[in-house]
Amino acid sequence: MRKFVLLRTAQALLVFVFATFVAYIALFELGDPFASVGEKVLPPRTRAILHETFGLDEPLPVQYLTFLGNLCTADLGIDFDRRRLVSDLLAEALPNTLRLAALAFALELLIGIGAGVLAAVRRASFWDTLVTTSTVVLMSIPPLVTATFLRDRLSGLRLSDITLFPTLPIAFGHEPHWAQLLVLPAISMAAGSAAFTARLIRGSMLEVLESDYVRMARAKGLAPRKVIFKHALRNALIPFANLATINLGALFGGALVVETVFQFPGVGYLFVRGLRDLNTPVLISIVAYSVIVFVVLIALLDILCAYLDPRLRID
């Protein structure tokens, strides 16, 4: 088991270095952030000073190695736009993205597992048809379409004198509470994932409900609710548990589109604004930490699976 953990850790480090280096090259190819474009005109002397200040006059490999060294000390540099510490920008945006991902994941579990269990227990009924049909539809719709539809139809919705969802785009100088901005993006992110979860749980539940130990539980006269939730659902969740970690990482990726559509002040929206302004320190910092989160989640999942199943270990 120790050998497997060491090997998996080494693989994770290699993936991180490769992914961040490729991202660094891609960002370098976007162009010079201090180039004279349109109405933005900088004298050559000013450009040279800015390049020297931000280390852009160094060769690309040197810039990347410097970035890796700074990453270890959490020194992410200063953004090109507002001259603020990138770590401060991430500290402001990250809690919002975590709230959004947590709510979206909770909705995915609640709706997906509930709908999947209902469809399996009421097999070939109206509810089964409704769940299977709606899940196919939701899985076919990109998050961008779902987010745009909800924004156009529900933003600015009022109930009596209470504004349920703020009007988008947000007016200059108006800062709605983060809780008001949270619901619609979370629903947009959770829709497709909940549909996938529902289909996965339905298939797994149908298989488990036909197993011998569930039939034995029913033959003993146990209550149907106890058979479904204690015996069947517990085992039906095993396939989903193997994908839950990956799906949680995918939710952070989906936040990129959804946060931009809803102008949600999270990491995804910060990344899009940085991409628009060629703000390299912001972009590469977000990419690096996103890779770290995803690689760590996958590595932990592999180690957990190897712990539970000795056949996956390396002797």
Query: pLDDT averaged over the chain?
Result: 79
Helix (H) or strand (E) holding 163: strand 162-163
pLDDT tier at 111 (50, 70, 90 boundaries)?
A: very high
Residue 273 tokens read as 């604004």
Interval 34-45 mean pLDDT:
64
- Structure confidence by residue, pLDDT tens digits, 68-78: 887 777 777 77
* pTM: predicted TM-score of the whole model, two decimal places: 0.75
Look at residue 159 and give its three-state secondary structure: strand
Interval 135-163 mean pLDDT:
83
> Which pLDDT does position 135 carry in this prediction?
92
Q: Are 281 and 80 in contact (CB under 8 A)?
A: yes
Q: State the pairing for strand pair 162-163/158-159.
A: antiparallel
The 10 Å CB-count burial string (b at 16+, else e) for 29-67 is eeeebbeeeeeeeeeeeeeeebeeebebeeeeeebbeeb
> Which pLDDT does position 172 carry in this prediction?
64
- Could you give the domains of the chain? 97-276 (1.10.3720.10)
